Each structure stands twice: as C-alpha cells, then as structure tokens.
Amino acid sequence: MNKNVYFYQMRKFNAIEGRYKFLFFVVSKEYVIGVFKDSKIATAFIHLMRKQKPRYIYPQCRRLNSMRKYYSDKQLIDGMDYCIKYNTATIFELSSYLIYKHGEDTARKYIVIQTVRSYINRSFKIREVLHG
C-alpha cells in the first residue's frame, strides 16, 4: 500500500437495494497540492504542515479538502499565508483564522460542536495578535 495515500470511507444508503454501501475516498498530500497547483503559498503551507506534524498530514489534508466546500480558494490561501507568516501550519490555526476573518457561522458547518468553542477562542487571540 502506498504510504502517501490516506483512505477514508463514507456510508451511503441505497434506497433501491435497501442497504448501506461503503464508498471509499482517497485524499493524499499530492491530491491537495494538485488542487492548489497554481498557488505557491498553498504548496508551502502543505509542505510546512507535513514538516511540523507528519503524523497528522492525511487527516489534515482531508479536512482541508472538505473546507473547500465552505470557503473559496482565495479565502483559504489568505489563511494559509497567515499560517506561514506565523509558522503554525495546522488546520486548527487555519480554521481559527478563517473564523476571525469570516465569522463563525460558516465554520460551524464543518467543525464538530464540541470543539468549535476552542476554535473561536483561538480566533480571539489571533485578533489580539493582529490588532494589538
């Protein structure tokens, strides 16, 4: 098995057959880099993310890919630029920055309810850092 690939599955109910089907998706670092191939900032962010937390690169790539449903690529790249400047390339920091910039309503759609408070608290600290 290729160690650069992370598999995850999703259950989908098939009404015709009356049973669940398991759909497997592949999200790899290379896939996410391919999505943002025109952006040097995004590529640098993903490489820094791998360097800082190599164990969590694939779940973070999966989360980054799902965030594209809620934010434009320009918004994500703006957040990645912030993360690179402060040398903290994690999805937690990226999401917290996006909450600071664009509000928490969008973030509540993809962040688990139990952890959304910690993202919001971090966004307040980002506001303090950027605005003194």
Q: Whole domain around residue 13: which residue ranges?
A: 5-131
Full-model pTM: 0.76
Domain count for the chain: 1
pLDDT at residue 47 tops 70: yes
Confidence at residue 8, expressed as pLDDT on a 0 to 100 scale: 45
Q: What is the pLDDT of residue 27?
A: 55
Mean pLDDT of 13-33: 61
Catalogue the long-range contacts made by 46-51 (C-beta closer than 8 Å, 24 or more residues apart): 46/89, 48/83, 48/84, 48/87, 48/89, 49/89, 49/90, 49/91, 51/89
Q: What is the mean pLDDT of the chain?
A: 82
